[in-house]
């Protein structure tokens, strides 16, 4: 697990994803279906830099209060990975229910001005979730199922103190659950980008 955590520490920095983003892993759904579930009418193949430009323009117009407005999706084995720069839609209860209908979703939101979240949902039901910076704060119909992976990543739910590298640790839990390690290489792939502005 130490090597995996080291590989994921880039998510703790103000790198290409900055300090607000959401990444969702969706099992058995192709990128066009993922975009439909996020509410996008269609998609366009773009590089991450182009997605970031669209998001930056939207955030400037809205002063950031409405999220990033766009999502980019890339396939990875039996999963699709949805990336929302400056966004949090994939983590919202009213959204993750639809995203996970007939599927499984693991979503991590980093938000340095509010609260980061990890959520696991299957077929419309949130089975488990926790706050990476305070892993004792758990929720869902079966949050205990995440405990072994959380402890392995250094997110002990019995501790009330902030763990080191909580965002990297949350992504390590996701990697154990999905088999997909979210490396910077994902930001070099072509993405199917959809407009989810509300």
Express each pLDDT in 111-128 by its tens digit: 998 999 999 999 999 999
Nearest to 118 by CA among 85, 103, 96, 102: 96
Q: Which residues contact 127 (CB under 8 A, 6 or more apart)?
A: 120, 121, 140, 141, 142, 143, 145
pLDDT at 143: 93
pLDDT at 148: 96
Nearest to 104 by CA among 6, 24, 2: 24
CB 91, CB 21: distance < 8 Å = no
- Cα–Cα distance list, 104 to 11, 18, 53, 68, 167 (Å): 23, 27, 30, 23, 21
Q: Where are the beta strands (DSSP E) in 63-122?
A: 70-76, 79-85, 104-111, 117-122
Phi-psi region of 7 (alpha: psi -120 to 50; beta: other; left: phi over 0): alpha
Express each pLDDT in 74-116 by its tens digit: 999 999 999 999 999 999 999 999 999 999 999 999 999 899 9
pLDDT at 161: 83
Q: Running DSSP on this structure, what letter comes out for residue 133?
A: T
**Arithmetic mean of pLDDT over the chain:** 96
Phi-psi region of 102 (alpha: psi -120 to 50; beta: other; left: phi over 0): left
Residues of the chain with pLDDT under 50: none
């Amino acid at each position: 697990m130490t090597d995996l955590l080291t590989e994921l520490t880039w998510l703790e920095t103000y790198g290409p994803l900055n300090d607000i983003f959401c990444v969702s892993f969706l099992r058995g759904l192709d990128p066009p279906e993922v975009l439909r579930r996020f509410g996008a009418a269609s998609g366009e193949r773009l590089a991450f830099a182009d997605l970031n430009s669209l998001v930056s323009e939207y955030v400037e117009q809205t002063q950031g209060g409405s999220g990033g407005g766009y999502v980019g999706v890339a396939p990875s084995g039996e999963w699709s990975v949805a990336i929302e720069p400056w966004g949090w839609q994939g983590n919202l209860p009213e959204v993750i229910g639809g995203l996970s209908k007939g599927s499984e979703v693991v979503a991590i939101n980093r938000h340095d001005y509010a609260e980061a979240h990890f959520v696991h949902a299957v077929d419309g039901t949130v089975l488990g979730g926790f706050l990476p910076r305070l892993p004792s704060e758990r929720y869902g119909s079966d949050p205990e199922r995440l405990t072994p992976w959380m402890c392995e990543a250094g997110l002990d739910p019995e501790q009330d103190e902030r763990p080191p590298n909580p965002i990297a640790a949350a992504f390590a839990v996701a990697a154990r659950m999905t088999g997909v390690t979210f490396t910077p290489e994902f930001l070099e792939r072509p993405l199917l980008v959809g407009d989810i502005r509300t």
